[in-house]
Structure 1
Amino acid sequence: MNEKARLSLKSKLLAELPSLRAFALSLAGSSDGADDLVQDTLMKAWANASSFAEGTNMRAWLFTIMRNTFFSKYRKSRREVQDVDGEAAARLVAMPDQLAHLDLADFRARLERLPADQREALILIGASGFSYEEAAEICGCAVGTIKSRVNRARRRLMDLLALSSIDDFAADPELTDSVAAVRFGE
Protein backbone atom coordinates (compact mmCIF):
# COMPACT_ATOMS: atom_id res chain seq x y z
CA MET A 1 0.00 0.00 0.00
CA ASN A 2 1.48 3.35 -1.01
CA GLU A 3 1.65 6.38 1.25
CA LYS A 4 -1.32 8.13 -0.34
CA ALA A 5 -3.52 5.06 0.13
CA ARG A 6 -2.38 4.71 3.75
CA LEU A 7 -3.28 8.34 4.51
CA SER A 8 -6.64 7.92 2.79
CA LEU A 9 -7.38 4.76 4.81
CA LYS A 10 -6.28 6.46 8.01
CA SER A 11 -8.60 9.42 7.46
CA LYS A 12 -11.52 7.11 6.61
CA LEU A 13 -10.91 5.07 9.77
CA LEU A 14 -10.74 8.20 11.91
CA ALA A 15 -13.97 9.51 10.36
CA GLU A 16 -15.77 6.34 11.48
CA LEU A 17 -14.59 6.50 15.12
CA PRO A 18 -17.80 8.07 16.55
CA SER A 19 -20.00 5.48 14.82
CA LEU A 20 -17.70 2.64 15.85
CA ARG A 21 -17.70 3.86 19.45
CA ALA A 22 -21.51 4.01 19.57
CA PHE A 23 -21.85 0.53 18.09
CA ALA A 24 -19.18 -0.81 20.45
CA LEU A 25 -21.05 0.63 23.46
CA SER A 26 -24.22 -1.13 22.35
CA LEU A 27 -22.36 -4.43 22.07
CA ALA A 28 -20.03 -4.27 25.08
CA GLY A 29 -22.27 -2.45 27.53
CA SER A 30 -19.39 -0.57 29.19
CA SER A 31 -17.11 2.22 28.07
CA ASP A 32 -13.95 0.24 28.87
CA GLY A 33 -15.17 -2.74 26.89
CA ALA A 34 -16.25 -0.46 24.05
CA ASP A 35 -12.85 1.24 23.92
CA ASP A 36 -11.13 -2.15 23.75
CA LEU A 37 -13.49 -3.30 21.02
CA VAL A 38 -12.91 -0.16 18.94
CA GLN A 39 -9.16 -0.52 19.34
CA ASP A 40 -9.24 -4.22 18.32
CA THR A 41 -11.43 -3.36 15.33
CA LEU A 42 -9.09 -0.63 14.13
CA MET A 43 -6.04 -2.85 14.59
CA LYS A 44 -7.65 -5.64 12.57
CA ALA A 45 -8.83 -3.23 9.88
CA TRP A 46 -5.36 -1.71 9.57
CA ALA A 47 -3.69 -5.11 9.45
CA ASN A 48 -6.13 -6.35 6.80
CA ALA A 49 -6.37 -3.15 4.77
CA SER A 50 -5.45 -5.06 1.63
CA SER A 51 -8.70 -7.02 1.88
CA PHE A 52 -10.81 -3.85 1.76
CA ALA A 53 -12.10 -3.25 -1.76
CA GLU A 54 -11.98 0.42 -2.78
CA GLY A 55 -15.42 1.76 -3.60
CA THR A 56 -17.21 -0.49 -1.10
CA ASN A 57 -18.84 0.59 2.14
CA MET A 58 -16.08 1.28 4.70
CA ARG A 59 -18.57 1.55 7.58
CA ALA A 60 -20.15 -1.83 6.81
CA TRP A 61 -16.68 -3.41 6.58
CA LEU A 62 -15.63 -1.96 9.95
CA PHE A 63 -18.91 -2.88 11.65
CA THR A 64 -18.57 -6.44 10.37
CA ILE A 65 -15.04 -6.63 11.80
CA MET A 66 -16.29 -5.25 15.11
CA ARG A 67 -19.24 -7.59 15.32
CA ASN A 68 -17.10 -10.64 14.52
CA THR A 69 -14.47 -9.55 17.05
CA PHE A 70 -17.10 -9.05 19.73
CA PHE A 71 -18.71 -12.46 19.20
CA SER A 72 -15.34 -14.22 19.04
CA LYS A 73 -14.39 -12.69 22.39
CA TYR A 74 -17.82 -13.55 23.79
CA ARG A 75 -17.54 -17.21 22.76
CA LYS A 76 -14.03 -17.36 24.20
CA SER A 77 -15.08 -15.74 27.49
CA ARG A 78 -17.85 -18.33 27.95
CA ARG A 79 -15.17 -21.04 28.08
CA GLU A 80 -13.00 -19.12 30.56
CA VAL A 81 -13.31 -19.56 34.30
CA GLN A 82 -13.44 -16.46 36.48
CA ASP A 83 -10.89 -17.01 39.23
CA VAL A 84 -10.29 -13.66 40.91
CA ASP A 85 -9.10 -15.12 44.23
CA GLY A 86 -7.06 -17.94 42.65
CA GLU A 87 -9.16 -20.65 44.24
CA ALA A 88 -9.72 -22.63 41.02
CA ALA A 89 -6.07 -22.35 40.04
CA ALA A 90 -5.00 -23.68 43.44
CA ARG A 91 -6.99 -26.86 42.79
CA LEU A 92 -5.16 -27.43 39.50
CA VAL A 93 -1.77 -28.05 41.03
CA ALA A 94 0.49 -30.45 39.14
CA MET A 95 3.92 -31.72 39.98
CA PRO A 96 6.59 -29.96 37.91
CA ASP A 97 7.78 -32.04 34.97
CA GLN A 98 11.45 -31.24 35.40
CA LEU A 99 11.66 -33.26 38.62
CA ALA A 100 10.38 -36.39 36.89
CA HIS A 101 13.01 -36.04 34.20
CA LEU A 102 15.74 -35.66 36.79
CA ASP A 103 14.49 -38.69 38.72
CA LEU A 104 14.30 -40.75 35.55
CA ALA A 105 17.82 -39.69 34.56
CA ASP A 106 19.01 -40.67 38.05
CA PHE A 107 17.28 -44.06 37.72
CA ARG A 108 18.88 -44.68 34.32
CA ALA A 109 22.32 -43.72 35.63
CA ARG A 110 21.94 -46.14 38.55
CA LEU A 111 20.70 -48.87 36.22
CA GLU A 112 23.86 -48.43 34.14
CA ARG A 113 25.97 -49.02 37.27
CA LEU A 114 24.67 -52.57 37.59
CA PRO A 115 26.90 -55.35 36.31
CA ALA A 116 26.10 -56.10 32.66
CA ASP A 117 24.72 -59.60 33.34
CA GLN A 118 22.40 -58.35 36.10
CA ARG A 119 21.24 -55.34 34.05
CA GLU A 120 20.56 -57.61 31.06
CA ALA A 121 18.55 -60.08 33.16
CA LEU A 122 16.57 -57.31 34.85
CA ILE A 123 15.70 -55.62 31.54
CA LEU A 124 14.73 -58.92 29.90
CA ILE A 125 12.45 -59.91 32.77
CA GLY A 126 11.15 -56.55 33.90
CA ALA A 127 11.15 -54.17 30.96
CA SER A 128 10.83 -56.60 28.06
CA GLY A 129 8.37 -58.94 29.76
CA PHE A 130 10.14 -62.20 28.99
CA SER A 131 9.57 -65.18 31.28
CA TYR A 132 12.50 -66.51 33.31
CA GLU A 133 12.68 -69.47 30.95
CA GLU A 134 12.79 -67.26 27.86
CA ALA A 135 15.39 -64.98 29.41
CA ALA A 136 17.53 -67.99 30.37
CA GLU A 137 17.37 -69.24 26.79
CA ILE A 138 18.32 -65.79 25.42
CA CYS A 139 21.28 -65.51 27.84
CA GLY A 140 22.31 -69.12 27.40
CA CYS A 141 22.21 -69.99 31.11
CA ALA A 142 20.06 -71.83 33.64
CA VAL A 143 16.71 -70.48 34.84
CA GLY A 144 18.07 -70.38 38.40
CA THR A 145 20.95 -68.18 37.24
CA ILE A 146 18.52 -65.68 35.67
CA LYS A 147 16.42 -65.62 38.85
CA SER A 148 19.54 -65.00 40.91
CA ARG A 149 20.75 -62.21 38.61
CA VAL A 150 17.35 -60.49 38.65
CA ASN A 151 17.14 -60.73 42.44
CA ARG A 152 20.67 -59.32 42.88
CA ALA A 153 19.96 -56.58 40.33
CA ARG A 154 16.77 -55.53 42.09
CA ARG A 155 18.46 -55.40 45.48
CA ARG A 156 21.49 -53.54 44.14
CA LEU A 157 19.32 -51.04 42.25
CA MET A 158 17.25 -50.35 45.37
CA ASP A 159 20.48 -49.77 47.33
CA LEU A 160 21.83 -47.44 44.65
CA LEU A 161 18.59 -45.47 44.66
CA ALA A 162 18.35 -45.57 48.47
CA LEU A 163 14.87 -47.07 48.36
CA SER A 164 13.13 -49.34 50.78
CA SER A 165 10.33 -50.21 48.31
CA ILE A 166 8.74 -49.12 45.04
CA ASP A 167 6.27 -47.06 47.10
CA ASP A 168 9.03 -44.46 47.48
CA PHE A 169 8.16 -43.42 43.91
CA ALA A 170 4.42 -43.04 44.57
CA ALA A 171 4.46 -39.24 44.20
CA ASP A 172 5.87 -39.44 40.68
CA PRO A 173 3.71 -41.47 38.26
CA GLU A 174 6.07 -41.12 35.29
CA LEU A 175 9.01 -42.51 37.21
CA THR A 176 6.91 -45.11 39.01
CA ASP A 177 5.88 -46.49 35.62
CA SER A 178 9.51 -46.63 34.47
CA VAL A 179 10.66 -48.29 37.65
CA ALA A 180 7.72 -50.67 37.65
CA ALA A 181 8.69 -51.62 34.11
CA VAL A 182 11.80 -53.31 35.48
CA ARG A 183 9.64 -54.76 38.28
CA PHE A 184 12.10 -54.51 41.08
CA GLY A 185 10.82 -54.87 44.63
CA GLU A 186 8.21 -57.50 43.75
Structure 2
Amino acid sequence: MLDLVSHYCFAHLSSFKVTRSRRAWLLKNAKYADRAASGKFITIYPEDEGEFVQTVIDLAALLKDFAPGPYILSDRRWQASPVYYRYGAFKEIVKEISGQKCYCLQAPDGSWQEDQRCPYYYQPDFVQEPAELVRDNFQVKGAEISKLTAYQIKEALHFSNGGGVYLAQKNGKNYVIKEGRPRVWMVMARMPSAGSKKKRAG
Protein backbone atom coordinates (compact mmCIF):
# COMPACT_ATOMS: atom_id res chain seq x y z
CA MET A 1 0.00 0.00 0.00
CA LEU A 2 2.78 2.43 0.86
CA ASP A 3 4.55 1.73 -2.44
CA LEU A 4 1.39 2.34 -4.47
CA VAL A 5 0.29 5.48 -2.61
CA SER A 6 3.73 7.08 -2.37
CA HIS A 7 4.35 6.59 -6.10
CA TYR A 8 0.97 8.18 -6.80
CA CYS A 9 1.75 11.15 -4.54
CA PHE A 10 5.19 11.73 -6.02
CA ALA A 11 3.78 11.53 -9.55
CA HIS A 12 1.06 14.09 -8.70
CA LEU A 13 3.29 16.30 -6.50
CA SER A 14 0.97 15.73 -3.53
CA SER A 15 2.22 16.33 0.01
CA PHE A 16 1.76 13.42 2.38
CA LYS A 17 2.95 11.88 5.62
CA VAL A 18 3.17 8.25 6.68
CA THR A 19 3.40 6.38 9.96
CA ARG A 20 7.05 5.45 9.75
CA SER A 21 7.24 2.01 11.33
CA ARG A 22 5.17 -1.10 11.91
CA ARG A 23 5.51 -0.62 15.66
CA ALA A 24 4.18 2.93 15.50
CA TRP A 25 1.26 1.74 13.39
CA LEU A 26 0.45 -1.07 15.83
CA LEU A 27 0.69 1.42 18.69
CA LYS A 28 -1.96 3.59 16.99
CA ASN A 29 -4.29 0.61 17.08
CA ALA A 30 -3.58 -0.45 20.66
CA LYS A 31 -6.48 -0.70 23.10
CA TYR A 32 -5.82 2.61 24.85
CA ALA A 33 -4.46 4.56 21.89
CA ASP A 34 -6.01 7.86 20.77
CA ARG A 35 -9.30 6.87 19.10
CA ALA A 36 -9.12 9.82 16.69
CA ALA A 37 -5.82 8.50 15.25
CA SER A 38 -6.70 4.81 15.11
CA GLY A 39 -6.34 3.18 11.71
CA LYS A 40 -4.48 6.08 10.10
CA PHE A 41 -1.46 5.06 8.04
CA ILE A 42 -0.97 7.60 5.22
CA THR A 43 -2.32 11.16 5.22
CA ILE A 44 -2.42 13.22 2.02
CA TYR A 45 -2.76 17.01 1.83
CA PRO A 46 -4.37 18.01 -1.51
CA GLU A 47 -3.76 21.45 -2.99
CA ASP A 48 -7.43 22.25 -3.67
CA GLU A 49 -10.90 20.73 -3.88
CA GLY A 50 -10.41 19.38 -7.40
CA GLU A 51 -7.24 17.54 -6.42
CA PHE A 52 -8.97 16.27 -3.28
CA VAL A 53 -11.87 14.69 -5.19
CA GLN A 54 -9.60 13.18 -7.85
CA THR A 55 -7.24 11.76 -5.23
CA VAL A 56 -10.08 10.08 -3.32
CA ILE A 57 -11.43 8.46 -6.50
CA ASP A 58 -8.00 7.46 -7.87
CA LEU A 59 -6.78 5.92 -4.61
CA ALA A 60 -9.99 3.94 -4.10
CA ALA A 61 -9.42 2.34 -7.53
CA LEU A 62 -5.70 1.86 -6.86
CA LEU A 63 -6.33 0.15 -3.49
CA LYS A 64 -9.41 -1.88 -4.43
CA ASP A 65 -7.72 -5.21 -3.60
CA PHE A 66 -6.77 -4.20 -0.05
CA ALA A 67 -8.94 -5.31 2.87
CA PRO A 68 -10.32 -2.48 5.03
CA GLY A 69 -8.57 -1.74 8.30
CA PRO A 70 -10.12 -0.33 11.48
CA TYR A 71 -12.79 2.27 10.78
CA ILE A 72 -11.24 5.75 11.15
CA LEU A 73 -13.65 7.34 13.60
CA SER A 74 -12.72 10.96 12.83
CA ASP A 75 -13.19 10.57 9.07
CA ARG A 76 -15.77 9.60 6.44
CA ARG A 77 -15.12 6.44 4.46
CA TRP A 78 -15.26 6.56 0.66
CA GLN A 79 -17.52 3.74 -0.53
CA ALA A 80 -16.12 0.31 0.47
CA SER A 81 -12.47 1.36 0.07
CA PRO A 82 -9.70 1.89 2.65
CA VAL A 83 -9.77 5.61 1.73
CA TYR A 84 -11.16 8.12 4.25
CA TYR A 85 -11.36 11.90 4.32
CA ARG A 86 -12.09 14.82 6.64
CA TYR A 87 -11.85 18.63 6.58
CA GLY A 88 -9.22 20.18 8.83
CA ALA A 89 -6.20 22.43 9.09
CA PHE A 90 -2.91 21.26 7.58
CA LYS A 91 -0.84 23.09 10.18
CA GLU A 92 -1.23 23.28 13.94
CA ILE A 93 -2.59 26.81 14.46
CA VAL A 94 -3.33 27.64 18.09
CA LYS A 95 -5.73 30.48 18.91
CA GLU A 96 -7.81 31.50 21.91
CA ILE A 97 -11.58 30.97 21.59
CA SER A 98 -13.92 31.77 24.51
CA GLY A 99 -10.92 31.99 26.83
CA GLN A 100 -9.53 28.58 25.83
CA LYS A 101 -6.50 27.90 23.64
CA CYS A 102 -7.22 25.31 20.96
CA TYR A 103 -6.23 24.16 17.49
CA CYS A 104 -8.02 26.32 14.92
CA LEU A 105 -8.83 26.74 11.27
CA GLN A 106 -9.87 29.90 9.46
CA ALA A 107 -13.35 30.30 7.94
CA PRO A 108 -13.85 32.14 4.61
CA ASP A 109 -15.01 35.26 6.50
CA GLY A 110 -11.66 35.41 8.32
CA SER A 111 -12.96 34.17 11.68
CA TRP A 112 -11.23 31.43 13.62
CA GLN A 113 -13.04 28.22 14.52
CA GLU A 114 -11.88 25.25 16.54
CA ASP A 115 -10.39 22.46 14.43
CA GLN A 116 -12.29 19.74 16.24
CA ARG A 117 -10.37 16.47 16.29
CA CYS A 118 -13.08 14.16 17.52
CA PRO A 119 -13.51 10.37 17.53
CA TYR A 120 -16.41 10.92 15.10
CA TYR A 121 -16.84 12.66 11.76
CA TYR A 122 -17.20 16.42 12.15
CA GLN A 123 -17.61 18.97 9.38
CA PRO A 124 -17.43 22.75 9.98
CA ASP A 125 -20.66 24.60 9.20
CA PHE A 126 -19.01 26.64 6.42
CA VAL A 127 -17.94 23.53 4.48
CA GLN A 128 -19.92 21.69 1.84
CA GLU A 129 -18.75 18.30 0.63
CA PRO A 130 -18.09 18.19 -3.12
CA ALA A 131 -21.20 17.12 -5.02
CA GLU A 132 -19.38 14.19 -6.66
CA LEU A 133 -18.60 12.62 -3.30
CA VAL A 134 -22.04 13.18 -1.80
CA ARG A 135 -23.75 11.78 -4.89
CA ASP A 136 -21.63 8.65 -5.30
CA ASN A 137 -20.72 7.69 -1.74
CA PHE A 138 -23.12 5.01 -0.56
CA GLN A 139 -21.57 5.29 2.93
CA VAL A 140 -23.24 8.72 3.23
CA LYS A 141 -26.57 7.01 2.63
CA GLY A 142 -26.19 4.74 5.65
CA ALA A 143 -24.88 1.50 4.17
CA GLU A 144 -23.22 0.58 7.47
CA ILE A 145 -25.53 0.69 10.48
CA SER A 146 -24.28 -0.30 13.90
CA LYS A 147 -26.27 -2.86 15.89
CA LEU A 148 -26.12 -0.35 18.74
CA THR A 149 -28.81 1.68 16.97
CA ALA A 150 -31.37 -0.89 18.14
CA TYR A 151 -30.81 0.37 21.70
CA GLN A 152 -31.22 3.72 23.41
CA ILE A 153 -27.77 4.46 24.78
CA LYS A 154 -27.97 6.19 28.17
CA GLU A 155 -24.29 6.63 28.91
CA ALA A 156 -20.81 5.27 28.27
CA LEU A 157 -19.54 3.35 31.27
CA HIS A 158 -16.10 2.88 29.75
CA PHE A 159 -14.53 3.34 26.33
CA SER A 160 -11.24 2.64 24.61
CA ASN A 161 -9.86 2.34 21.13
CA GLY A 162 -11.12 -1.25 21.09
CA GLY A 163 -14.73 -0.30 21.77
CA GLY A 164 -16.97 0.81 24.62
CA VAL A 165 -19.16 -0.45 27.44
CA TYR A 166 -22.57 1.25 27.47
CA LEU A 167 -25.64 1.45 29.68
CA ALA A 168 -28.61 1.08 27.31
CA GLN A 169 -32.35 0.48 27.21
CA LYS A 170 -34.58 -1.51 24.88
CA ASN A 171 -38.28 -2.25 25.32
CA GLY A 172 -38.20 -0.88 28.85
CA LYS A 173 -35.31 -3.09 29.98
CA ASN A 174 -31.79 -2.00 30.96
CA TYR A 175 -28.77 -3.57 29.30
CA VAL A 176 -25.01 -3.32 29.61
CA ILE A 177 -23.55 -3.64 26.13
CA LYS A 178 -19.91 -4.28 25.33
CA GLU A 179 -18.82 -3.12 21.90
CA GLY A 180 -15.89 -4.61 20.01
CA ARG A 181 -14.60 -2.46 17.14
CA PRO A 182 -13.81 -4.63 14.08
CA ARG A 183 -10.19 -4.98 12.97
CA VAL A 184 -8.71 -3.11 15.92
CA TRP A 185 -5.77 -5.02 17.34
CA MET A 186 -5.46 -5.25 21.10
CA VAL A 187 -1.76 -4.51 21.22
CA MET A 188 -0.74 -4.58 24.86
CA ALA A 189 3.04 -5.05 24.48
CA ARG A 190 5.32 -2.27 25.62
CA MET A 191 6.59 -0.34 22.63
CA PRO A 192 8.83 2.69 22.25
CA SER A 193 7.00 5.83 21.17
CA ALA A 194 7.32 6.79 17.53
CA GLY A 195 6.11 9.70 15.47
CA SER A 196 5.56 10.38 11.78
CA LYS A 197 7.76 11.59 8.98
CA LYS A 198 6.49 14.17 6.51
CA LYS A 199 7.48 13.94 2.87
CA ARG A 200 7.07 16.49 0.13
CA ALA A 201 6.70 15.26 -3.40
CA GLY A 202 8.88 16.87 -6.00
Q: Report the TM-score when normalising by structure 1.
A: 0.20
**Structure number with higher helix proportion:** 1
Higher fraction of strand: 2
**TM-score under structure 2 normalisation?**
0.19
Q: With a CA cutoff of 8 Å and minimum separation of 6, indicate the structure with the bigger relative contact order.
A: 2
Q: Which has the larger radius of gyration?
A: 1
